[in-house]
Amino acid sequence: MNIFSRLNVGAKVACVVTAFVVICVSILAFFIISASKHSLEEQAHRIVEQASYRYGNILDMVSSEVLDTLFVGATAINTQIEHNTISAERLKDIVTAIPNNINSIEYAYLFMPQFMGEELIILAQSNGKEGQKAAIIKSEPIIKTFTSIQGAIANNKPSLSHPAIINFQNKELYAQGFGVPIHDKNGKVIGALGAFINFANIGIPLLSEEARVFNDDQRFVIDEQGTIIINQNQNFIGKKLDEIVPTQETKNIIIAAKEGKDGIFPYRTAAGIEGIVGMRSIKPLNEGNMYWNVLSYIPNKSINEPLVELLWIIIACSIGTILIIVIGTMYYLRTCVAKRIRLILNALTSFFAYLNHERKDAPQPLKIVAQDELGEMGNAINDNIQ
């Protein structure tokens, strides 16, 4: 307090003005940053939700496309059976028409335990020639043991196997099988038409750089059991999400995935990076409790990047504003107020010295430059001098 009391009037006013400016600018910056943070978080939630819905719609289209294609093929087979026009060659034509027309299907197959007195298995593989028939390849007996085929025959309705790594045609695939039943004239199930979807092909639009919205964001897919079926890290494929990231947040995500619930959840990656995920659940089959859950992840760091930039801008602008106000105030006080006060002080000192006969001549009247309080003081001094 002693130091402040020894300052001249201009310095005191400058200190007070500076203090008020700093307080006001700090309060303003706090509310701007808080509002911006809230707005950025809401925007990030909307973006991650829209991203998960957009890629969820892609998977929804895949499942619908696969099922529709299989239903068309099954209907064609059923019609031929009903009209007694069925033959092995016609069955091959139907099966080979499937893979090349659907990008997500790599293999299509037909299994009939009793076709003209013997077991029939037809297997077609996509050769990438859209609009043309796929190639018939050597069938594998393992097809008749597929869960999707057995489920379609046993339950007389579309069936879906769980995603799994299988060795098929001398190569390893991470795939999932769809199957629809084939009927005789009386409506009895006599076989199943099925297809494998290859998640490596399905995941291309999800994992491409064009799908990136934020820095270091990720997109991946899990099933209702929390098993990872699409991920940019191939080492994670087929593993449980909670085994890779054993946290309560992950468990909550898996619980929601099992129930097919959409939502936004906090999440931490295997590398320990905190963020949020938007989840969109898709049912490949209308019946049953099997889901594809698309997760779109954004790290908190990427969400806060614009906020950090805004923070530095506000800090720089605040410092600049404070300096301009302080320098301008001090300059005005020094050149206008303090100078006039010194002139009044000198005039009073000289006037009292004249009254006390310490000097012979009266001081010169003050030059009045403004009609304010200092101007009135100057007029009063001039009246006494004259």
Taking the C-alpha atoms of residue 296 and residue 293, their distance in angstroms, rounded to an integer, is: 10
50 to 55, 266, 287: CA distances (angstroms): 9, 17, 26
Residue 17 lies in a domain: no
Taking the C-alpha atoms of residue 200 and residue 376, their distance in angstroms, rounded to an integer, is: 89
Residue 353 lies in a domain: yes
Domain stops at, among 142, 173, 202: 202
For helices 373-385 and 339-355, angle between their N-to-C axes, nearest 10 degrees: 20
Domain stops at, among 185, 202, 219: 202
pTM of the model: 0.74
* Pick from 304, 309, 308, 302: nearest CA to 213: 302
pLDDT score recorded for residue 335: 72
Residue 361 lies in a domain: yes
Q: What is the span of the domain harbouring residue 162?
A: 62-202
Taking the C-alpha atoms of residue 139 and residue 124, their distance in angstroms, rounded to an integer, is: 8
Domain count of the fold of the chain: 2
The pLDDT tens digits along the chain (386 residues) read 566 666 666 677 777 888 888 888 888 888 888 888 888 888 888 888 888 888 888 889 989 999 999 999 999 999 998 888 888 888 888 888 888 777 788 889 999 988 877 888 888 887 766 666 777 887 778 888 889 999 999 999 999 998 888 888 788 888 889 999 999 988 899 999 999 888 888 888 788 777 777 777 888 999 999 999 998 888 898 899 999 999 999 999 999 999 999 999 999 888 888 889 999 999 999 888 899 999 999 888 887 777 788 888 888 888 888 888 888 877 777 776 666 677 666 666 766 666 666 676 766 666 666 666 666 666 666 666 66
pLDDT score recorded for residue 332: 76
Residue 279 lies in a domain: no
pLDDT score recorded for residue 269: 84
Domain stops at, among 202, 225, 260: 202
Q: Is 219 helix (H, G, I), strand (E, B) or coil?
A: strand
Residue 285 lies in a domain: no
What one-letter code names the amino acid at 380?
Answer: A
| CATH number of the domain within which 83 lies | 3.30.450.20
Residue 235 lies in a domain: no
Residue 39 lies in a domain: no
What backbone phi and psi angles, to 5 degrees, belong to 135?
A: -90, 135
Q: Per DSSP, what are the bridge partners of residue 227?
A: 240
Q: Per DSSP, what are the bridge partners of residue 196?
A: 107, 177
pLDDT score recorded for residue 385: 65
pLDDT score recorded for residue 333: 73
Residue 357 lies in a domain: yes
